[in-house]
Amino acid sequence: MADPINFVLVHGAWHGGWCYARVRDILARKGHRVFTPTLTGLGERSHLMSRDIDLDTHIADVVNVFRWEDLDNVVLAGHSYGGWVISGVAEQMEKRISSIVYLDAYLPEDGESGRAIGSVFTRKSLEEAVKTGAVSRAGPKAEQFMVMTEENRRWVDSRMTEQPVGPGLQPIRLTGARDRIAKKTYVLAGLYQSPQFTKYYSACQADPGWITLEMPCGHDVMVDMPELLADILVEAAYTQPAPLAPA
Choosing from 50, 80, 136, 158, which is the catalytic residue? Answer: 80
Whether 39 and 111 have beta carbons less than 8 Å apart is answered as no
What residues contact residue 41 under an 8 Å CB cut-off, 6+ apart? 48, 49, 50, 53, 136, 161, 163, 164
Active site residue 80: yes
* Residue 126 CB partners (closer than 8 Å, separation 6+): 114, 115, 118, 137, 165, 168, 169
Single out the residue of 213, 220, 222 nearest to residue 188, CA to CA: 213
Beta bridge mates, 102: 78, 186
CB neighbour class for 198 (10 Å; exposed up to 12, middle 13-18, buried from 19): middle
Q: Are 104 and 191 contacting, i.e. CB atoms less than 8 angstroms apart?
A: no
What is the DSSP code (8-state) at residue 70? Answer: T
Phi, psi of 20 (to 5 degrees): -95, 10
Angle, in degrees to the nearest 10, between helices 21-29 and 226-238: 60
What does the alpha-carbon distance between residue 28 and residue 48 come to, in Å, rounded to a whole number? 29
d(CA 129, CA 107): 24
- Which residues participate in catalysis according to the annotation? 80
